[in-house]
Structure 1
Amino acid sequence: MPAQIISGKDIAEQIREELKPRIDKIKEKGIVPGLAAVIVGEDPAAMSYIRGIAKGGEKVGIITETVSLPTDITQQELEKKVVELNEDSKFHGIILQRPLPEHISDSAIVNLLSPDKDVDCLSPINISKLITKEAGGFAPCTPSAVIEILDRLNIEIDGKRAVIVGGAGKQGKTIGIMLLNRWATVYFCDYKTINPAEEYQRAEILVSAMGLAKKVKTDWVPQGAIVIDVGVSTDEDGKLSGDIDFEPVKEIAGMITPVPGGVGSVTTAMLLSHTVTAAEELTK
């Protein structure tokens, strides 16, 4: 029997609907939740992502402002802008599109981000809270989307064998940590893993975060596994693709997320959710 196709769009819509009464309550105080999206340069993919965020925010009543800065901005100028946004009460969340230009110190910038407004977990303080399971702070939006999908489908994480394909990458590591925090048994696999297909066959939950189109074939996926595709790239025909070779894999998986319309849709909704939570905390 073919897999159940997990609709990230439907889950994202559920999240947005649940945000509306929370946003209305904030607005009763005369405050509108605000998100600042900082982008240095003119990366078309980043601009498209921000437009998607703004569109989703508009549906629920969140103001999204794009802070577009020139590629040749100096370190001092960018640091000044981040401090300004930290102090601007109009914004409750801040995201920073990366990578930054080579002449900018990435670590210096993210260290300046207010942890209270860092809604995509760039600040070392929030990263530390995530790793140590300390209360407060925000987890990164894409790994949060993976957990949200599993929770909304009532998939038990506790005790499950979860395999991360691309486990050495930033997304893979963070997803693995969040699954560990929920008591999954997590296997981190990457290009140096010996006999990787053997490891993948352990999975009850298989998460791929490589960014290599259609890399995950049927021999990597156990019968009935829950398959979450985080990777996004283009295939040989120039079409948007996930890591999973979707058509054949869906014939053996138990559940599977598509690309597009899967994790990415929920990621944007989680960013809005984090912004609302930040607004609630900052306006108490």
Structure 2
Amino acid sequence: MPIVMKGSEVAAAMKEDMVKKVSELKAKGIVPKLAILRVGSRADDLAYEKGAIKKMADIGIECEVHELAQDVGQKDFEAEFNKINSDKSVHGILMFRPLPKNLDENAVLEVIQPHKDSDCMCNANIAKVFSGDLSGYPPCTAQAVIEMLDYYKIDLTGKRVTLVGRSMVVGKPLAMLLLKRNATVTMCHTRTKDLAGTCRGGEILIAAAGKARMITADMVSEGAVVVDVGINVDENGVLCGDVDYDAVEGKTSYISPVPRGVGSITTSVLAKHVLRGAGAQFN
């Protein structure tokens, strides 16, 4: 039977370290704070926001939500963002994207303070991730995969990793994080020729393409480590990942489920980045 990599166990281990860090910061007179900026009220944004607020409270980080109407104008949107960005009591900013089509997000991404950019929105942090500079803030989901592999003591050095997905939110930055750990990374996607054969070549297979149950048993080598980053809803309204879990599980040595897998770690990474921002601002 494979080891099921549960996000709750990873998050619990991270929490212990972060609670200690919060105490150290508060002893210096710093109260860590996350500001969430949300335009409109999309159901997925509200669900993530609820989880983020709970996570921050559990760790001891303050959290404030700035909600703007769906039809807010560019001028008012930028004014609200700039107020948060210049607020010295705020150490991390989470802005839900995509924004409504009437808003230009580049106007604010160009001015966000990099140490407050908790989910890697600005070019400065993206560049650091791609150059291997550890002072950058990787996207929370990409970093969550690394946190999971570290917790389960899966050494990446020299390992063949097949990564399915090429988005700037997960695939591309995650490839850079894996390379930083000396993995040998093969990137592929839904249009890759002989995708099944390419996937079978990976000792570690990471699925992040956003297509329900696309990774089937014939695509997984015996004893592989399988990390499922996908969050999908199938034709029956059931939440599932990019991996056909029931079909694949028996072939793996380690496998992460959906839900209760990588997604359970992302808000912990967000909190970790807020604490880094608080420390950076203090220094």
TM range (shorter): over 0.9
Structure 2 residue 71 is matched with structure 1 residue 72: yes
* Structure 2 partner of 1:132: 131
**3-state SS of paired residue (2:128):** helix
Q: Is the CA contact 1:201–1:222 (under 8 Å) kept in the aligned structure 2?
A: yes
Structure 2 residue 166 is matched with structure 1 residue 167: yes
Q: Which moved more, 1:109-118 or 1:257-266?
A: 109-118
* Structure 2 partner of 1:48: 47
Counterparts of residues 78-157 of structure 1 (less than 5 Å) = 78-157=77-156
* Structure 2 partner of 1:208: 207
* Structure 1 partner of 2:13: 14
TM-superposition CA deviations, 1:32-69 (whole Å, max 9, x none):
11000111111111011011011011111111111111
Change (3 A) 1:53 1:107: same
Supply the AA of the counterpart residue of 1:156: D
**3-state SS of paired residue (2:227):** strand
Q: Is the CA contact 2:132–2:176 (under 8 Å) kept in the aligned structure 1?
A: no
Q: Is the CA contact 2:141–2:169 (under 8 Å) kept in the aligned structure 1?
A: no
TM-superposition CA deviations, 1:61-98 (whole Å, max 9, x none):
11111111111112222222221111111210001100
1:171 Cα shift? Answer: 1.5
In structure 2, what is the Cα distance between the partners aligned to 1:55 and 1:71? 25
Q: Is the CA contact 2:56–2:271 (under 8 Å) kept in the aligned structure 1?
A: yes
In structure 1, what is the Cα distance between the partners aligned to 2:118 and 2:19? 18
In structure 2, what is the Cα distance between the partners aligned to 1:135 and 1:197? 33
* Structure 2 partner of 1:283: 282
In structure 1, what is the Cα distance between the partners aligned to 2:193 and 2:249? 26
Q: Is the CA contact 2:190–2:209 (under 8 Å) kept in the aligned structure 1?
A: no
1:167 Cα shift? Answer: 3.0
**3-state SS of paired residue (2:38):** strand
1:253 Cα shift? Answer: 0.9
* Structure 2 partner of 1:251: 250
In structure 1, what is the Cα distance between the partners aligned to 2:146 and 2:235? 30
Normalising by structure 2, report the TM-score.
Answer: 0.97
Q: Is the CA contact 1:169–1:210 (under 8 Å) kept in the aligned structure 2?
A: no
Q: Is the CA contact 1:217–1:244 (under 8 Å) kept in the aligned structure 2?
A: yes
Structure 1 spans left out of the alignment, 5+ residues:
none
Q: Is the CA contact 1:82–1:112 (under 8 Å) kept in the aligned structure 2?
A: no
**3-state SS of paired residue (1:227):** strand
1:246 Cα shift? Answer: 0.7
* Structure 2 partner of 1:231: 230
Q: Percent identity?
A: 36
In structure 1, what is the Cα distance between the partners aligned to 2:280 and 2:69? 32
Instruction: Find runs of 4+ consecutive structure 1 residues off by over 4 angstroms.
Output: none
1:191 Cα shift? Answer: 2.2
1:176 Cα shift? Answer: 1.2
Supply the AA of the counterpart residue of 2:193: I
Supply the AA of the counterpart residue of 2:150: D
* Structure 2 partner of 1:189: 188
In structure 2, what is the Cα distance between the partners aligned to 1:149 and 1:115? 25
Normalising by structure 1, report the TM-score.
Answer: 0.96
In structure 1, what is the Cα distance between the partners aligned to 2:166 and 2:99? 24
Change (3 A) 1:66 1:121: same
TM-superposition CA deviations, 1:90-142 (whole Å, max 9, x none):
21000110000111112222112111100111010110111112242211110
